Amino acid sequence: MESSRRRTQCSDNGRRPEHREQLGQWGRAWEVDWFSLICVLGLLCFAPFIVFYFVMACDQYRCAISQPLFELLRGETAPLSIWARTAPFTWSAARMYAAWVAFQAFLCVCVPDVSHKFIPGYVGGVQDGARTPAGLVNKYEVNGLQCWVITHALWAANALYFNWFLPTVIFDNWIPLMWCANILGYAVSTFAFIKAYLFPTNSEDCKFTGNVFYDYMMGIEFNPRLGKWFDFKLFFNGRPGIIAWTLINLSHMAKQQEVHGHVTNSMILVNVLQAIYVLDFFWNEAWYLKTIDICHDHFGWYLGWGDCVWLPYLYTLQGFYLVYHPVQLSQGHALTVLLLGLIGYYVFRSTNHQKDLFRRTEGSCSIWGKRPTYIESSYRSTDGATHRSKLLTSGFWGVARHFNYTGDLMGSLAYCAACGFEHALPYFYIAYMTILLVHRCVRDEHRCSSKYGKDWRRYTDAVPYRLIPWVF
Ligand code: NDP
């Protein structure tokens, strides 16, 4: 505790909180309020159980989400009997998981990107991240698309030719793999926490609140790294979890074929729509360096455990559900889901693209056929330097302040609607994404308000709605 206090003073340069806005101390909080602390403790205690509950409900109750809870409450089932029926940790799953993570780390760190030399329009190779609050600009090796292609080419080669493993291997080891993902998630978060005290990558960008739970959850180091190129945020955010997303879906599809003898149109829709989202992520990985995850969040349990466990297990619930319930949609339903997914994707991508284009060209571009309108703004980094920036007020950024989130939510709803309306479980994703993105929107606006001060208020006057005009 004492050392954390010392560090707080050290990173804060002895300045009082009210001066932080001017001095560029934006980003995650310095002081923890009671509400945040309760949320942090709640998530630390319950998030792993939520993941377990959903997976167990499918595995033992055919995805009837309320049934285990009612049985437990009525005393018809004991928690220990649920536990006894749950697949245990296995060393074969641990070996598989270790090989997977090691292979992704190898691809990420040891195979520099060559694909940007051949693929027109793709931005890869060494790229700059955003300026950190301490004024640093980190370099990143952007090779996610290449890693995704190599991994999926190997998966396809195995399925079509080599047969080293069954394409259902992920589904077949889903629960043992979950224990391994938890071990990695906790290990990496704990390592990052200790590293921040003992050998931080850049101590000027560390934040210590003095509250051990908050610091563990929200992270202390901003951009922890091992060596020059192993960046914790880029790797855990983008590699083992998101590359696995499409493979997990393919494994669910293979399992549906194995169990039911056919693949349903709903499973194809989920695979296609989510693959578009994943590929979009890797195609735009250089842009992703400028998003909140990389350029504002510190690396703690929220990102470390979240990327290892929450993302692969809960973002893929739809495909998992469809193995137990092979829903065949009517043509009209399938078409509606497809349209909703594609329109959502279009809104999401165009909104993100507009901001990226606008920021890259410093406003010298055309948005919806016109010169963009914007608000000139300024902010200061910790070194006291003043930087200029611009806040776009045209295109989708003039419709609402986070219309990219609205598009994302439309896409998320499409994945859920692909599963029909018989069970609530696949709809967890849209409920979760709504909470995540609304919270993120509020968090981001709070940060922007600290960063830009009165310029941000001018922007919110010009664009008064957050997600949906006249609603929110
Ligand atoms: P944004 O891409 O919306 O970035 C917000 C930042 O953009 C602000 O902090 C500010 O940064 C800048 N900004 C805000 N308003 C303007 C404006 N009018 N003009 C120019 N710049 C502005 O947010 P995210 O990084 O959260 O999201 C990126 C995408 O990732 C979104 O589409 C989101 O839906 C998606 N996403 C998906 C998740 C998932 O789990 N599937 C999770 C999180 C995000 P600055 O300091 O540079 O001014």
pLDDT exceeds cutoff 80 at 321: yes
Distance 397 CA to ligand 1 centre (A): 11
Q: Which of 278, 292, 460 to mutate to test the pocket of ligand 1 (most atoms within 8 A of CB)?
A: 292
CA distances, 347 to each of 1, 13, 266, 399 (Å):
47, 43, 23, 12
pLDDT at 295: 77
| Percent with pLDDT over 90 in the chain | 75
Ligand 1 site, residue 396, Cβ cutoff 6 A: no
Q: What is the pLDDT of residues 7-61, one digit of tens each?
A: 333 333 333 333 444 444 455 566 678 888 898 999 999 999 999 999 999 999 9
Q: Is the pTM of this model over 0.85?
A: yes
Written as six digits, the tokens of 439 are 């919270």
Write down the pLDDT at residue 417. Answer: 98
The CB of 152 under 6 Å from ligand 1? The reply is no
The amino acid present at 80, given as its one-letter code, is L
CB neighbour list of residue 361: distance below 8 Å, 6 or more residues apart: none
Q: Is 59 in the pocket of ligand 1 (CB under 6 A)?
A: no
Nearest C-alpha to atom 47 of ligand 1 is from which residue? 290
> With 70 as the cut, is the pLDDT of residue 370 above it?
yes
Q: Are 26 and 450 in contact (CB under 8 A)?
A: yes
- Nearest atom in ligand 1 to 444's CA: 9
- What is the band of 443 on the pLDDT scale with cuts at 50, 70, 90? confident
Q: What is the pLDDT of residues 187-213, one digit of tens each?
A: 999 999 999 999 999 888 888 888 899
Q: Which atom of ligand 1 is nearest to the CA of 412?
A: 41
Give CA–CA dist 422/49, Å, rounded.
24
Is the CB of residue 435 below 6 angstroms from any atom belonging to ligand 1? no
User: Does 458 sit in the ligand 1 pocket, CB within 6 Å?
Assistant: no
CA–CA separation, 282 and 310 (whole Å): 20
* In the predicted structure, residue 91 carries a pLDDT above the cut 90: yes
Ligand 1 atom index nearest CA of 405: 34
> Would you say the C-alpha torsion 246, 287, 455, 15 has a positive or negative sign?
positive
Q: How far is CA 314 from CA 53, 218, 348, 387, 433, in A?
A: 11, 20, 21, 40, 11
